Amino acid sequence: MASFDVLIVGGGNLGLWTAYHLAKRGTRRIAVCERYWAGFGATTRSAGIVRQQGGSETAVKLGKWSRELYRQLGQELGIGSGFTEVGYYVAASSEEERAAFHDLVELRQRCGIANEWLDPPELKRRVPFVDWDRFLGATYTPDDGFVYPAIVARNITHAVLKAGVSLFEECEVQAIEPLSSGYRVQTTRGTFEAERVVDAAGPRGARRIGAMLGIEVPVSAARHQIVTFPERPAAMPANFPMVFVLSQGYYLRPDEQGVLLGMSNPEEQADPTERFLLEFDWAYFERLKPEWEATIPSLAGQPIGRAWTGSIDYTPDHLPIIDEPRFGFYVVAAGGHGMMWGPALGMKLAELILDERVTELPDEEIRLSRFSEPRRVRDAIALPFPTR
Ligand SMILES: Cc1cc2nc3c(=O)[nH]c(=O)nc-3n(C[C@H](O)[C@H](O)[C@H](O)COP(=O)(O)OP(=O)(O)OC[C@H]3O[C@@H](n4cnc5c(N)ncnc54)[C@H](O)[C@@H]3O)c2cc1C
């Protein structure tokens, strides 16, 4: 029977980056068991926004480190990192948001992020393709950007294989049994033993993997959807800056030669089925359309190139999980931000495994037990998901 020092369940952005950091730090026998193919889950269905403008200390730091790690990996491999820096405006629609955003600018600056608050006159001058009369202002970070998820999956898969990680594709984990030392893991490709097991099974698996050991992992999935417009309107420059209308849950970024627009219906319910090919909600698309057409008038009437949905992961406070709820059993989850946080979450989980502690992040924003405690921090800069 094959045995490993660490067996990671899930070959998405989080599982692969965890394997990468463990290998970099000298762990020899690492396995990644992936039910389908590396990157095939939420990772390659995502929009790839990489934002350092988080709503808590953890969110800000994970965004900052991940942006850097994407770029470093591109350099290490000698190929494109998939990261494109265009800058990001997060628009405030109410007085409450304006006040909260001012506080967040201070927090982000303390964390070393170049972040500023801008009033509408300056925004109109800088980004004339947006109707800023609809907003009270926006925060801005010039070195935020986005990744092409397919390139991210390619790079991190290449890196872990190069580092000697055993990647088992089409290998579903079906049961985990504790041993006197370590775990026995039953999969569709045979039974393995491992000293340590990591649950990185994402929106359609993390909960079930935890349940195999009687541990409640509050990771759920909700439908999120994206359309692309193949042509960029003349009013929008090449590599135009990204814009996020937080209160309405829609955002846009450049995509190939056109524009990508993502959106989440706040009334969306959690999908418990582990499906990933979900029906596109055209009714919601039509309902939201007047909003984004008014905000970006040049997009009105543009033909659509592609439209897709995916199960986006969420935790009740939109913050990640980095924890060891049982000796030798670890959980890592991204709270819906796994493209902007994945590389750093992998780094911090590797730290927990190898150093038995996580430095530089507040424990109350990452530990699993926080969900059963009365007061919680929340990442306020997140899509409007259901909180159940
Ligand atoms: C439409 C959409 C847009 C998004 N946009 C963004 C964005 O702009 N920025 C951002 O930061 N985040 C975004 N996200 C969220 C982001 O994609 C996720 O947070 C991230 O991909 C989570 O990574 P993961 O590795 O935890 O999960 P996944 O990528 O889903 O990987 C988990 C893997 O575990 C495997 N697995 C599950 N169960 C088992 C099992 N029993 N045995 C073996 N393998 C198993 C799955 O097959 C899967 O491949 C978006 C998500 C969606 C759906």
Atom of ligand 1 nearest to the CA of 313: 19
Q: Is residue 56 part of a domain?
A: no
Q: Residues with Cβ within 6 A of ligand 1?
A: 9-15, 33-36, 40-43, 45-49, 172-173, 200-205, 209, 224, 226, 262, 310-313, 334, 336-340, 342
Q: Is residue 66 part of a domain?
A: no
- State in Å: Cα 122 to ligand 1 middle: 37
- The verdict on 140 and 239 lying in the same domain is yes
Between CA 222 and CA 149 the distance in angstroms is: 19
Residue nearest to atom 31 of ligand 1 (CA): 12
Atom of ligand 1 nearest to the CA of 146: 8
* Residue 351 lies in domain: 3-46+150-218+317-372
Q: Mapped to the 3 state alphabet, what secondary structure does the chain carry?
A: CCEEEEEEECCCHHHHHHHHHHHHCCCCCEEEECCCCCCCCHHHHCCCEECCCCCCHHHHHHHHHHHHHHHHHHHHHCCCCCEEECCEEEEECCHHHHHHHHHHHHHHHHCCCCCEEECHHHHHHHCCCCCHHHCCEEEEECCCEEECHHHHHHHHHHHHHHCCCEEECCCCEEEEEECCCCEEEEECCEEEEEEEEEECCCCCCHHHHHHCCCCCCCCEEEEEEEEEECCCCCCCCCCCCEEEEHHHCEEEEEECCEEEEEECCCCCCECCCCCCCCCCCHHHHHHHHHHHHHHCHHHCCCCCCEEEEEEEEECCCCCCEEEEEECCEEEEECCCCHHHHHHHHHHHHHHHHHHCCCCCCCHHHCCHHHHHCCCCCCCCCCCCCCCC
- The verdict on 138 and 225 lying in the same domain is yes
- State in Å: Cα 111 to ligand 1 middle: 27
Q: Is the overall model pTM greater than 0.95, yes or no?
A: yes
- Which portions of the chain are predicted below pLDDT 50? none
We report the CATH number of the domain holding residue 97 as: 3.30.9.10
- State in Å: Cα 180 to ligand 1 middle: 32
- State in Å: Cα 78 to ligand 1 middle: 26
User: What is the count of structural domains for the chain?
Assistant: 2
pLDDT tens digit string along 291-313?
999 999 999 999 999 999 999 99
What local confidence, expressed as pLDDT, does residue 151 receive?
98
- State in Å: Cα 348 to ligand 1 middle: 18
What local confidence, expressed as pLDDT, does residue 382 receive?
87
- State in Å: Cα 205 to ligand 1 middle: 10
What local confidence, expressed as pLDDT, does residue 386 receive?
64
Q: Is residue 344 part of a domain?
A: yes
- The verdict on 291 and 328 lying in the same domain is no
